[in-house]
Structure formats: structure tokens, C-alpha cells
Chains A and B, each alone.
Chain A
Amino acid sequence: MKIACEAALLRRALMATPMPPKKLMMPDIHFVTALPCEAQPLIEFYRLKPAGRSKSFEIYEAPGKHLVLSGVGKIRAAEAVRFLHEFAGKIRDQAWLNVGIGGHPDLKIGEGVLAHKITDQKLAKSWYPPLVFEAPSRTESVVTVERAENKYGESCVYEMEASGFYEAACRFSTAELIHCYKIISDNRESSTKKVSAALVERLVRQNLEMIDEIVKKILTLAQALPHAEIPAHEFQKFLERWHFTVTEQHQLRRLLLRLQTLEPEAEIWPELQLLTKSKDVLNTLKDRINSLPVAL
């Protein structure tokens, strides 16, 4: 709750400089990174500008893109997701990508992998990001641990944010649009002790092309989501003219959507304006739909 309020206040404070108009039908990509050295190459590549800073998180943005710097750990990652969702206007079904580093027993340093399974080691709970697009990189199981892993017990990527990020993002979007990309920073041959900010920044930079390909694939996939909707100002006209109960509002929205599909150019407002009761409005819409020739 605290995070949500903070994000809302921050967004309100920034309202004086409104966001550029968004392209219709294209969702935004939300990046979540733990460390500044992971974020910096993305900030430069996507020309993101500082958009705000709270006590807990920093946000960068460009049209259609946001990045939140979460700090280390799954709890911080989850909070950062909630914060960014709130900050970006609470719009559902946006694309989310967690970019970070991780260790793997055998994979070579710098190799990037998409998660096909995320396991929270402490909770013994797993998630399975659906790979509905052709993964441009290798895919691996990712295990989120509480502390940096040096034993590399299993053949998987060990890291510290994915489970928190994924579970939180699933509250605001659909799983097909939420992914984790982890770049191998350490392995049995090269321990975590050798991982420096400079190394991480270099590894992320080396992976920018791949990250961008993944982003494009997620955004292309997102375009297959249904886009039919009644513009808010259109719907508001109805609510201002008549009183609809909550159930009736649902019915109204559904009827307007159906009419829009069947008769996109319908001019029904003049006919409705003559009516005084909301029920008559709903019945008129129903009658209109039922009177249209049925096409496949």
C-alpha cells in the first residue's frame, strides 16, 4: 500500500510534464533490474531518461518503455514491480522483462538465457513462463536464492530476483508477456568474487542485441491480445446521461462492444438520447443487435 501511494504521488508530481501520447494497440515494455550496472546499458540503449525517484526506487522512461531499479533480492524486485505498475498508470497486460545476472555451474560467462522455469528455493514453489514465441536465446531453469550461490548444486541459473519479480508481475499482466533474461556472471571456474560492477555492465552491454530481440518478440506477441474496447469518453457519455447500476454498466459495455463488432459505423446515440431510463437504453441496444443480419 505504501509503495502504491508513493508511486501515485510521484506520478502526480510529474503530471506537469505529461507523457507523450502512446501509440494505440502497443503495450509498454517494463524493465526491472536490480543494480545500476545492469540498468546503465539499457538506459543508454533505449535512451531512457530519469522519470522519478522515490525513497526506494528509481525510474527511467522513454515513450513505450520504463525501467525500475529495484535493488537486490526478490522482495525488492516484487515491490519494484508494484511500484512501476502504479507509476505507469496501472495499465494491465504490459510486457515485463527482468534483466539481471546469475551463476551457472557450466555455462560460459556472458551467455544470456531466458527462464523457462523459475523456482523460489526457499518457498519450494515454481513458475513456468510460457514461451509462446521462438526463444532467440538458450532457455534454462532459474532458481531464486536468498544469498549468492557458490556451490552451483544443480544445472540451472542461480540468482536473487526472478521469483519475486515474476510472481508480482503476474498480478498485473498475463504470463506470456512476462520474462526473465539472465546473463551468466559466474560459474564453477570463475566465482562470484570476480564479479564487479564493470564486468556486469560489460556483460549486459554484450547482450543488448539479444535483449532487444526478446523485447520485440514479447511486444509482437502482445499485439495479439484483444484490443476491442469502448473509448472511456464514449462510455462516460452514457454514465453522465443515465444512471446505470454496476451490473448494468457491465451489460452496457458488453452490448456496446457487440454493436461495435457487428456495426462499426453504427449511429445509435441520436436514437438513445430520446430515452429516459437506463433499462430502455440496454433494451434498445439489444434490439439493435438482434435486428442486424448475422454474418460469420
Chain B
Amino acid sequence: MIDTVYIEKEIESHPRTKEVCERFPKARRVFCERYGEVFNPNAQNFRLQKQKPALILAKKFDHFILKTQKGYGIGGDHNFYFSHMLNCLYDCRYCFLQGMYRSAHFVFFVNYEDFEHAIEKQIKEAGSEESYFFSGYDCDSLAFEPVTGFTSHFLPLFARHPKAWLELRTKSIQIKPLLEMKPVQNCVIAFSLTPTEIGAALEAKTPAVTKRLEAMEKLQERGWKLGLRFDPLIYHAQYQEQYERLFREVFKKIKIPSVHSVSLGPFRLPKQGYETMFKLYPEAKLFAGPLEERKGMVSYAQKIEEEMLNFITSRLLEYVPKNIFFPCLI
């Protein structure tokens, strides 16, 4: 799977570096000073690299946790996100990462302990108030789990701090470590879901929605709190019947008491990101369709977006109580 591992010299002897390297004994190892030397140069093509991304093992120096944009959240006032990885195993055509990074290589920050300190500091500052920490913004939280051991490391931390919530955002079915541990009550395993036809057309390399639902059922049985994320909403001629069918399938299997929160978000991209993605995939119908620029963001024409949001919200609220519904309208 991984043919090349780039390693920052400084973390060559880090135990997590050694563990990861042991997983890929045949991969060539190339040393670098800082991951940016490999990841940031201009003359790179995300689309080509996506065919065979390399793994970069790096140390993160600062900005371990960042505040989320206003309007993003699942019920709390203090919202932060953090990324132990950059880039994702999957290849979803709508994903903003394609427009954000020049390289499709996976960057894995091995210094978990520094993330941990930053999170604990923030929890302390929040005092008696709840804080929400979102993982899965710059990567899928679980897809690389066998390599990163991310959940095994971070869930015990959150188990010690019940006022701090952790959201793991994923399309992955790598749930084995979760099934093997006691559910952490302040952790939400949030699955991104799209109708099967949209998944097949736009979410390359991801597990099928039916597989994601099976994984969710298993987590539900074990007592984990689930999140349902219908994000991004993708418009096309048959979207109404497809989302209706998706909701029927989801709520046949997933019971509301197991659901911590439900959110949805329209398909929106920063203008610059859209431009980059269009250049990478000019033949993609998604980027050729009825999109327009509004306030520096590219999204479906306003009429379409409103129609879709109203329709999907109304159908979703047939299943979901309003107090756990958090539409994301950033």
C-alpha cells in the first residue's frame, strides 16, 4: 500500500515512527529535514499523486488545536478541531483537501503527546464548561487507524475529561479498536453518509454506505454514541428520491437514542479551492454543473441550494428530533 515513507530526521527514533516503519518493512525510507520540503513544493499534481501517495512522518510544532469557524458545531459553544494527519485514504471528488494541498501524500504527525497537552490545556481553560474537539477535518479519523493507533491513544484522554467531547468524523469501517474498548460517553463516532448512487459516483475508495451502516449498527450495539453527517449535500436530478431512500435505510438500522447529533451541510468550496479542483478534474460533472460564486465561496446556485436544504431538512426532521439537529451553514 505504501511504497515510500519520508521521515523527518528529528523523529527518526520516535517510538511511533519505528512502529509505523515496521508496518511497511518493504517501503523505501527517505529522510528529510521538514515535511514541507516534500509536501509543499509548487510543481506537484494532486491528481497524479493520488494514484500512489507516500507516507510522510513528521513532527507538528504549533497550532495543535484550532478554533472552528462560527456556525460549525453540534451543540457546544467552545469548538476546536485538530488534525493528527493531513490528507485521506479516500478519493472523494467533492473533498476540499484536493484544492487545499498541492500534494496527496499522507502526513502523519507522530507527536501525539503535544496534541494531548494542548487539548488538556484547553479543557482546563474552559473550566466547568463543555468543549468540543473535532477530528477528521484534514483527514478521515479512522481510515488509517491500524497504522496510527489514533483512537487507542486519544480516547483514554477524553475518558478522563467528561466535559470534553470528541467527534471522530469518518467514512471508514475500521472500528475494531472501538469495539474492543468500553464506549467513551463523551465521544461521538460521526459517519458521513450520502446516497449509494452519489457514493458510487463521487466517493472513490470509500466503503459502501451499506458497509458504513453495518459498522454503525455494531457500534450502536456496543453503546457508542453516533453522529450522522449528511455533508456535503449533492444535487442532481434524482436527489430527492435518493436522499429519502437513504434516510429510510439509515433510520431502519440506527435508533435515535444512539444518535448524539445529526448535521447536514451544503456543497461549498472556497473560490480558490474550487479553481484548483476544476483544473485538476475539468471533466468532473460535479464541478461543471450549476455552481456559482457567492462571497468568496462556490456553491450551487442559491435557488437550488435553498430548495435542496429545505427538502432534505424537512425529510430528515421526520426522523430526527430538532434538539439533536445541527445544520451546518458555513
Contacts of B280 in A (CB 8 A): 226
If the complex has contacts A261-B283, A294-B236, A296-B286, are A226 and B48 also in contact, measured as CB distance less than 8 A? no
Q: Which of A126, A139, A177, A262 contacts B285 (CB 8 A)?
A: A262
**CA–CA, A178 to B45, complex, Å?**
12
The reply to whether B290 and A290 contact each other, CB–CB distance below 8 Å, is yes
Contacts of A135 in B (CB 8 A): 3
Contacts of A130 in B (CB 8 A): 44, 48-49, 54, 103, 105
**CA–CA, A289 to B285, complex, Å?**
11
Taken residue by residue from 267 to 296, chain A's Cβ proximity to chain B (1 for < 8 Å, 0 otherwise) reads as: 000000000000000000000011011111
**CA–CA, A289 to B304, complex, Å?**
14
Say which one of A20-28, A59-67, A168-176, A179-187 lies at the interface with B.
A168-176
Q: Which of A133, A177, A228, A289 contacts B52 (CB 8 A)?
A: A133
**CA–CA, A131 to B201, complex, Å?**
28
The reply to whether A226 and B3 contact each other, CB–CB distance below 8 Å, is no
Tell me the chain B residues, 195-209 only, with Cβ under 8 Å from chain A: 197-198, 201-202
Interface flag for A134 (CB, 8 Å) = yes
Contacts of B103 in A (CB 8 A): 130
Contacts of B66 in A (CB 8 A): none
**CA–CA, A173 to B4, complex, Å?**
22
**CA–CA, A131 to B27, complex, Å?**
12
The reply to whether B285 and A261 contact each other, CB–CB distance below 8 Å, is yes
Contacts of A254 in B (CB 8 A): 278
Count A-side interface residues using an 8 Å CB cutoff: 40
With most chain B CB atoms within 10 A of its CB, the pick from A176, A224, A259 is A176
CB distance from A253 to the nearest CB of B (A): 10
If the complex has contacts A116-B28, A132-B48, A176-B49, are A289 and B290 also in contact, measured as CB distance less than 8 A? yes
List the B residue with the shortest CB-CB distance to A261: B288
Interface flag for A225 (CB, 8 Å) = yes
List the A residue with the shortest CB-CB distance to B38: A128
Interface flag for B235 (CB, 8 Å) = yes
**CA–CA, A19 to B273, complex, Å?**
38
List the B residue with the shortest CB-CB distance to A139: B28
Contacts of A152 in B (CB 8 A): none
Contacts of A228 in B (CB 8 A): 282-283
**CA–CA, A273 to B16, complex, Å?**
65
The reply to whether B44 and A175 contact each other, CB–CB distance below 8 Å, is yes
Contacts of A225 in B (CB 8 A): 45, 47-48
Interface flag for A43 (CB, 8 Å) = no
Interface flag for B51 (CB, 8 Å) = yes
Contacts of A134 in B (CB 8 A): 3, 52
If the complex has contacts A116-B30, A290-B301, A296-B236, are A132 and B52 also in contact, measured as CB distance less than 8 A? yes
The reply to whether A176 and B3 contact each other, CB–CB distance below 8 Å, is no
Taken residue by residue from 216 to 231, chain A's Cβ proximity to chain B (1 for < 8 Å, 0 otherwise) reads as: 0000010011101100
CB distance from B33 to the nearest CB of A (A): 8
The reply to whether B43 and A117 contact each other, CB–CB distance below 8 Å, is no
With most chain A CB atoms within 10 A of its CB, the pick from B201, B282, B283 is B282
**CA–CA, A127 to B42, complex, Å?**
12
List the B residue with the shortest CB-CB distance to A166: B43
The reply to whether B37 and A128 contact each other, CB–CB distance below 8 Å, is yes
Taken residue by residue from 106 to 144, chain A's Cβ proximity to chain B (1 for < 8 Å, 0 otherwise) reads as: 000000000011000000001110111111000101000
The reply to whether A224 and B202 contact each other, CB–CB distance below 8 Å, is no
CB distance from A26 to the nearest CB of B (A): 15
Tell me the chain B residues, 208-256 only, with Cβ under 8 Å from chain A: 234-237
Count B-side interface residues using an 8 Å CB cutoff: 45
Tell me the chain A residues, 237-267 only, with Cβ under 8 Å from chain B: 254, 257-259, 261-262
The reply to whether A257 and B282 contact each other, CB–CB distance below 8 Å, is yes
**CA–CA, A261 to B287, complex, Å?**
9
**CA–CA, A292 to B301, complex, Å?**
13
Interface flag for B165 (CB, 8 Å) = no
With most chain B CB atoms within 10 A of its CB, the pick from A128, A173, A257, A289 is A128
Contacts of B284 in A (CB 8 A): 261
If the complex has contacts A289-B288, A296-B234, are A226 and B54 also in contact, measured as CB distance less than 8 A? no
If the complex has contacts A134-B3, A296-B198, are A174 and B285 also in contact, measured as CB distance less than 8 A? no
With most chain A CB atoms within 10 A of its CB, the pick from B6, B33, B52, B105 is B52
**CA–CA, A284 to B20, complex, Å?**
55
Interface flag for B311 (CB, 8 Å) = no
The reply to whether B235 and A294 contact each other, CB–CB distance below 8 Å, is yes
Tell me the chain B residues, 273-317 only, with Cβ under 8 Å from chain A: 278-290, 301
**CA–CA, A262 to B37, complex, Å?**
39
Contacts of A229 in B (CB 8 A): 282
Q: Which of B4, B41, B47, B234 contacts A224 (CB 8 A)?
A: B47
**CA–CA, A176 to B46, complex, Å?**
10
Interface flag for B32 (CB, 8 Å) = yes
The reply to whether A126 and B282 contact each other, CB–CB distance below 8 Å, is no
Contacts of A175 in B (CB 8 A): 41, 43-45
Contacts of B33 in A (CB 8 A): 126
The reply to whether B43 and A174 contact each other, CB–CB distance below 8 Å, is yes
**CA–CA, A76 to B158, complex, Å?**
58
**CA–CA, A221 to B285, complex, Å?**
23
CB distance from A296 to the nearest CB of B (A): 4
The reply to whether B43 and A170 contact each other, CB–CB distance below 8 Å, is yes
List the B residue with the shortest CB-CB distance to A117: B30
The reply to whether B41 and A170 contact each other, CB–CB distance below 8 Å, is yes
Q: What are 19 pairs between A and B in contact, CB < 8 Å?
A: A116-B30, A117-B30, A117-B31, A130-B49, A132-B48, A139-B28, A170-B43, A171-B43, A174-B43, A176-B45, A225-B48, A254-B278, A257-B278, A257-B282, A258-B289, A261-B282, A289-B290, A294-B285, A296-B236
Of all A-B residue pairs in the complex, the 7 with the closest CB atoms, nearest first, are A296-B201, A170-B43, A258-B288, A228-B282, A261-B288, A174-B45, A176-B48
